[in-house]
Structure 1
Amino acid sequence: MTSSELRTLYSTSVSDCHRALIKEYGRYVYSIIFNKLRLCGTKEDIEECFSDVFADIFIKLDEDKLLETDIKALIGTVAKRTAIDRFRRLCAAQKHIENTDENDMALIPADISVEAHAESSELRRLLISKIKELGEPDSTILIQKYYYNRKSEEIAKNVSMTASSVRSRCTRAMEKLRTKLAEIGITE
């Protein structure tokens, strides 16, 4: 279909012109879209993109932009660009879904060493076990002071002591803890 044939058909009946465009270029547009979306889109995605292409072409036709250019080239360009845009959106949506589902390991930042994280976790476990070996109230005082960043006055209320007693117990408990950690080879 040439520009002059399209112009004549458009002047007689707009709907006949639309039907003729789809009949003439429908397979061409569908093949462009199918080749771009077949790996990431469903049949519905392809059909929706096909509709979007022809809606855009009909808008250009109503604005007289299509009547002055090479029709097949313009239709091919619109189809290709629309399909590429849809492809990008579908791939981005699928990537988002994949990341939230099963690829939790891919979400670990590259600067985090799994080995260092495991060692750190083991060190924390050992530290807590040695703190608990100190007994009460020393273990409670150390945990509340160094893990929960509580002040001596707050800790004193929880363990029924004075703030000065908590401070002195904390100092002595830290010395005992250093000794216990040195016995297993952990120094500061």
Structure 2
Amino acid sequence: MKEKELIQGIQTGQVFYYEKLIDCYASYISRVVIKVAGSRLTKEDMEEICADVFIKMWENKDKLNIGEGTLKSYLGAMARNKTINKLRAIGGKVILPLEEDEIKYRGIAEEGIPENEMLAKEEHALIMDVIRSLPEPDGEIFIRRYFYLEKLSEIGKALGIEVATVGTKLHRGKQKLQKVFKERGGLGE
């Protein structure tokens, strides 16, 4: 079934398409949750997060604004965010490691300060715009590495490219992201 048909079916409230969504993406959502949670959550917590992703998708079916080719990314990001929220709820800070030459995030998302939260949302939107502007498979590589925390070898295997190529594409993507933020006075400083 094509992604566009699946999205349209869900938007019109057809349960058949919702069930197909679960069939198509349940194992993917589970992998994302497991990668982000590691051993820090119980099996029941992880199952609950997976279910919550699909429930939230159904509850917001009228508001969905997902372009073709982005459903998997949308669901993956939702699973990642729900997992991070759960980890924060049970134990405070969540550290998601980037490589040693990571793009520095200045911690502006400090909770409870509206100005900081607004800046964090703006920077997140800018990051997503830059990632979407990367040619494929570069955008997918960036998302797999930094949003789903996949290892370079896993990404290379999944996309059928050399690990060194994955590393090069990540490096170039980070350079582009830093350049955009320097131009706008943001993260890349």
Would you say same fold, with TM above 0.5? no
Structure number with bigger Rg: 1
Q: TM-score normalised to the size of structure 2?
A: 0.42
